[in-house]
Amino acid sequence: MDTNKSYQIIRVAKKYYELHMGQLEIAQEEGVSKSTISRMLQKAVDLGYVKVTIDAPIESVKEMEDKLKNIFHLKEIFVSPNLVDDEEINLRDTCRALANNLDHYIEDHTVVAVSWGKTLNCLAKQIQPLKAKDIKVVQLNGGVAKSASSTGASQIVDALTMAGHGIGYMFPVPAIVDSKLTSDILQEETQVKNVLTLAKKAEVSIFSIGALSKDSILYEVGYLKDEDFLALEEKEAVGDIASRFFDINGAIALNELNDRVVGFRLEELKEKEWAIAIAVGINKINALIGALRGGFMNVLYTDEKTARELLNRCG
């Protein structure tokens, strides 16, 4: 596309979205048809010149919230309504609800421990400046990729650190290593030990719940080998939190693999004032049930469709 054409598309977009001119009025000024203006506005969106966001308030589905809170004895639960049938939008809305409520959980000087993955990367994009100052943000588990693919582990740490005018602490090792011996040695390394100690002190933990799937980032970046995946399936693992896999009752599914994880232990989540989980999607139902039965969270953010299936299964 030549420069003049690009400038015209941008100019038309500015007149429409910033000056609030009508398409017919713009067409007359530009000397083209109204349908051409309509196509230019769509082109501006396609090229990324215009980004449309809807920043409407999100209210929890109260009836489901109350039922789930009583069944699982949670401190808090937020059920975001499914206004459209699109899982990506539902995940984004759920993450935005949590991002909007972070001031409720995070105060000045709070230590926040976070996992990483696709859900937490979505949350990172929704985070706005917090009232809290001088917070510390630390990873729950290692995030250095074992392949050329990036884990994106730093995104949530960076977003929260900037929002809370604080300091971020990365876990400078892989999430899963080749042996228990390697894991033990790494966890005795000074920098790793310091990060683990800080994570244990955290008052707030924020984490996603992953389903056992080859679509998971753990498999994509090479943390899970095919033999690991098969062994987890044989042990009826349903999902993971911070790379630690559990079964439908919340028990560690495969001790040999669990011993190779470098990072926080699931039992330590029960000690947190706020253990906040995010889970969206019917494919995560079994993992969510296992995590709830394991008592790894006291706060849950989910969406209406997932909550309804949870009630059908456990209500």
pLDDT digits (tens, 9 = 90+) for 137-183: 999 988 876 655 567 788 999 999 999 999 999 988 888 999 999 99
SS3 213: coil
Length of the chain: 315
Sign of CA dihedral 155, 160, 165, 169: negative
Structural domain spans, the chain: 3-46, 62-314
Q: Say how many C-beta atoms besides its own lie within 10 A of residue 278's C-beta.
A: 27
- Burial code of 298-311, b = ≥16 C-beta within 10 A, e = fewer? bbbbbbbbbbbbbe
204-261: pLDDT as tens digits: 999 999 999 988 888 888 888 899 999 999 999 999 999 999 999 999 999 999 999 9
CATH number of 62-314, picked from 3.40.30.10, 3.40.190.10, 3.40.50.1360, 3.40.190.290: 3.40.50.1360
Specify the CATH number of the domain 3-46: 1.10.10
